[in-house]
Structure 1
Amino acid sequence: MTSRRFGQQSLIQLLGHWQQTPSRIPLWQQLAAALRLLILDGRLVQGARLPGERELAAGLNISRTTVSSALAQLREQGFLQSRQGSGSQVVIPASSTSAHRAMSSTTQLDLSTASLMAGAEIHQAYTHAMELLPSQLQTSGYNHKGVLPLRESIAQRYCLRGLPTTPDQVMVVNGAVSGLALILRLLAGPGDRVLVDHPTYPSALSAIRGASCQAVGVPLLSGRWDITGLKATIAQTSPRLAYLIADYNNPTGYCMDEASRAEIAAIAAQTRTPLVIDETLAELWYHEPPPLPVAAFSNSEQVISLGSASKSFWGGLRIGWIRASPSLITSLIQIRDSLDLGSPLLSQLAVGWLLDNSDNFLPQRRRILKQQRDDCQRLMQEYFPEWKTSMPVGGLSFWVELPGMQATQFSSRASDIGILLGTGTRFGLSGAFDRYLRIPFTADEQTLRQAFQQLQPLWSTLPENTAAANYRKIF
């Protein structure tokens, strides 16, 4: 269990705008709900130690009794444990039933995760993999680089996207985040800076923190990347590497245009800054495919590509890959022993079949998702006309701008009725983006309508929204 201690300021930043004033909900219950949300989101991890009651009360400018009551409720619900002289530590309830008991509703819906259910093709893929498995049983089963048939399929996929690739340039890993962690272990060390889009994927931020590195954000502009800002940030901070999501940035859904890809590749070559380009959503486009991969604009070894089967096919397929120069792949293999000994053979064979046959089912998957995207936008306009968003051309979610700093408050109330929301603060640094939500459109229309019907009354009772409604009635 980690012994990481959250300082007063760090926890305050994570809490964001948690306080609802005026409100009929006691302040200690509001604080308990906000802290519980951080635990359920994974931003307060198992074993993390909270600041002392006196310190936290002073930082939040509330009474110590309020803090004590909030922590007592979390201990009762199984989210904290306290020992004399050791403070309070975060714990995950022993069973999901315990966690759900903290939520008052029996209806559970996770709108904090953007992922697909398994289609019929997943069963087909594993059936085919079982037929191929005997050919692998005469080996040790350990393969740090990945089985050759899968690496050939991945390389062929890159070739079809306009980036010539050989199997020697591909390494199979246990998901894209695992691949990023491996790259960080090779290229960065404790205290090093890693440049990221801002906002960006929360699990990538967790991997960067796990490597004891410091993420440095470059804000995304409206629908595009700030190339000038990125170049200036590299010059000012000298990051060890940059992690960017060029194909349907998670959470904004932005797609980097071709000119920006060429510029960023040139900047990486000039500054000798390795680029790690996350392409896990590249196959989920709804109008036209994205431009050529960023690596296609570089003749150097500075661009590393990350891919995964989890977004395009199914989250249960914990198979990802790294595309890089053969020499870098060799270096990554040499340090992999400290993380794992390879990826599951059966899943590798299944993913190979999915890649080779994706033209038979991905187009239909895109059509369904496009319809769900349109349905989700229409429902948001119907139930939450104050929300602002743009139509994503790819990916799995909307990046929603709220009228004010309301994401934490709203998400805390939603969790009380059994609906988990992805607050913008999960995707930012130092508590940024509390006026944003990420809303996935991976659920069907009926499910989303039921969720929005339950959420709308909660939204309307937030203090800022009540005041705005009263103002509209007067004028």
Structure 2
Amino acid sequence: MTDATLSARAFETLLGEWRGTEPVYRALAERTRLLILDGRVPVGTRLPAERDLAERLALSRTTVTAAYRHLREQGLLTSVRGSGSVARLPGAPAVLPAPPSADYVDFSKAAPTALPWLADVAREAVDDLPRHLPDAGFDPIGIPELREAIAARYAARGLPTAPDQIMVTIGAQHAIALLSRVLIGRGDRAVIEAPTYPHAYEALRVAGARLVPVAVSPHDAGAGGSGSAGSAAAGFGDLDEGEALAQAFRHANPTMAYLMPDFQNPTGRSMSEQTRERVLDAAARQGTVVVADETTAELSIDRAFSPLPFAAYGDAVLIGSVGKTVWGGVRVGWIRAERPLIRRLLAVRSPGDLGTPILEQLVVARLMGRMDDILALRREQLRAGRDRLEALLADAFPEWHVPHVDGGIVTWVGLGAPVSSQLALAARAHGLIIAAGPRFGIDGAFERFLRLPICYPEDVTGAAVRALSLAWRSLAGAPVAPEPGLLAEVV
């Protein structure tokens, strides 16, 4: 829950192109509904006062009042006289949604299903548990065998690593939050890619960072190129990514940069080895700590080159996890950093949590030795998923631009029109949950894009594309009235 207040100006930016053919009050309410449901307006946020928003949008106050009333009737706003209108989700308490019903296909999460042999490995890991039981069980840094296995994996990939350079975390998101708390002071600047992983920039904002976005082109920039991201990164859109990041480091003097160099979420692009060297060299000259999220780094399908881990090209902190390789339900991630930073992370961790669960660490320790087998399986699953999704989209949406990604778990589709939020609303009415493009930016940009996962089974992908086709055709028809109470938790 947050107690943030959204200004009328900031809310106008989030709304983007919201007017449609329906009555103005309903169009405003429907766009606000989507912003709440997909997290762009977090639960607990105070919306602008009716008078302020009416003035900003050049509407009558009656229109804004009607829109807010419509949202209250659907359980998406709570209004208290003298306190304003606060975003919420239907049902109390409103901090977490009920899971979608079986009637919905949730295409908002980019994560594969569990390994077929995960249950067997979990049962085997129980046999390793007794030797840990005499201890208290609170483990803020990670059990030795898992840190050794993670370090060995980095060494096998070409980056010598000692176990004491590893801290085990409760997933990658926990790692991002910990690093943000340690590296960012309130008001410090942090460079991010645009578009980027939403929960990462949210963690940076919670730590007090002022965000500096730098445009990232899709893997196949045939529909818009870097200019398509320029609205989210003014001043850098005409530069190649390496020079744009270097320029951002020079101009903004950021304390930290959060990057995804391999199969970036959501664009699917990978940095060239030359760009990696240039970026880290520029960061070192400026004193910027680069945090590289490598949660998808080894999920190549047919990438033409095999880069080393990002820190092999210069000083960088690495984040990894098993959420995209093993299963999202195994909440184990890690940070690879120099020893002084590991000590600082240990010092700040205990107020938030007391360590990573031992049994899950034992499961992952057993799986790290089988990572080559895991990646081979995932490679074939992702290849099939990518090819299937591309074929279905080409048949159903010939006007869309679908990049041919060479790895990772998503593709960043160009819609050809700024209708991503409208499409996300329409999709809900047809039983499909998707995350609108602006969810991956910080200023309402990316309405021309849609992130779609390539890691789902064939039947789920087929059902999703069928629903998406119905939603796309409905945009020219009647106003959309989506099912309330669904939240797209983007991962």
TM-score (norm. length: structure 1): 0.91
Deviation at 1:203, TM superposition (A): 0.6
Give 1:372-411 correspondences, 5 Å limit.
372-411=385-424
Task: Give me the TM-score of the superposition, normalised by structure 2.
Answer: 0.88
202, 207, 210: which is aligned to 1:206? 202
Structure-1 residue corresponding to 2:469: 456
Task: State the one-letter code of the partner of 2:418.
Answer: M
Q: Which residue of 2 aligns with 1:112?
A: 108
C-alpha distance in structure 2 between counterparts of 1:222 and 1:141, whole Å: 44
Partner of 2:71: 74
How many residue pairs get matched?
Answer: 456
Q: CA deviation at 1:126?
A: 1.4
Show the counterpart of 1:467: none
**Secondary structure at the residue paired with 1:386?**
coil
Q: How far has the Cα of 1:366 moved from its partner?
A: 1.6
Q: Which residue of 1 aligns with 2:222?
A: none
Query: What are the residue-to-residue correspondences of 1:98-137 with 2, within 5 Å?
Result: 107-137=103-133
Do the aligned partners of 1:17 and 1:405 also contact (CA within 8 Å) in 2? yes
Q: CA deviation at 1:268?
A: 2.2
Instruction: Tell me which of 33, 41, 45 is aligned to 1:36.
Output: 33
Distance 2:115 2:278 in 1: 38
Tell me which residue corresponds to 1:468. none
Q: In the alignment, is residue 286 of structure 1 matched against residue 283 of structure 2?
A: no
CA positional deviation for 1:64 = 2.9
- Which SS does the other structure have where 2:85 is aligned? strand
8 A Cα contact 1:369 1:442, kept in partner: yes
Looking at structure 2, the residues matched to 56 and 107 of structure 1 have their Cα atoms a distance apart, in angstroms, of 36
Alpha-carbon distance, 1:297 to partner: 1.6
Task: Measure, in 1, the Cα distance between the counterparts of 2:467 and 2:296.
Answer: 30
How far 1:279 sits from its partner (Å)? 0.1
2:54–2:61 CA contact under 8 A, matched in 1: yes
- Give the gaps of 5 or more residues in structure 2: 220-225, 227-239, 478-491
Shift of 1:276: 0.3
Kept in 2: contact 1:78–1:99 (CA 8 A):
no
Query: Percent same amino acid at aligned positions?
Result: 40
Instruction: Tell me the CA shift for residue 461 of structure 1.
Output: 4.1
> For the structure 1 residues 110 and 222, does the alpha-carbon distance in structure 2 shift closer, same or farther, using more than 3 Å as the test?
closer
Matches within 5 A, 1:309-458: 309-458=322-471
Matches for 1:80-95 after TM superposition, within 5 Å:
80-94=77-91
2:292 is the alignment partner of 1:277: yes
Q: Give the stretch that moved more between structures: 448-457 or 124-133.
A: 448-457
CA displacement at 1:379 relative to structure 2: 0.7
Opposite residue 349 of structure 2, the aligned amino acid is R
1:3 and 2:3 aligned:
yes
Aligned-residue offset at 1:98: 13
Code of the residue aligned with 2:268 in structure 1: it is G
Partner of 1:229: 244
Aligned to 2:150: 154
2:18 alignment partner AA:
W
Deviation at 1:68, TM superposition (A): 2.4
Of 259-268 and 91-100, the range deviating more from structure 2? 91-100
Name the SS for the 1:361 alignment partner: helix
Matches of 2:431 and 2:52, distance apart in 1: 31
Tell me the secondary structure at the aligned position of residue 178 of structure 1.
Answer: helix
Deviations 1:161-183 (A, max 9, x none): 10000101000011112112111
Runs of 4+ off more than 6 Å: 95-101
- Deviation digits for residues 177-207 of structure 1 (CA, Å, limit 9, x no counterpart): 2112111211111111100111111010110
> What is residue 185 of structure 1 aligned with on the other side?
181
- In the TM superposition, what whole-angstrom CA distance separates every residue of 1:359-393 from its partner, at most 9, and x where no partner exists? 33331222012111111011111111111121111
Are residues 1:141 and 2:137 paired? yes
Q: Is the 8 A contact 1:17 1:409 kept in 2?
A: no
Alpha-carbon separation, structure 2, partners of 1:65 and 1:438: 36
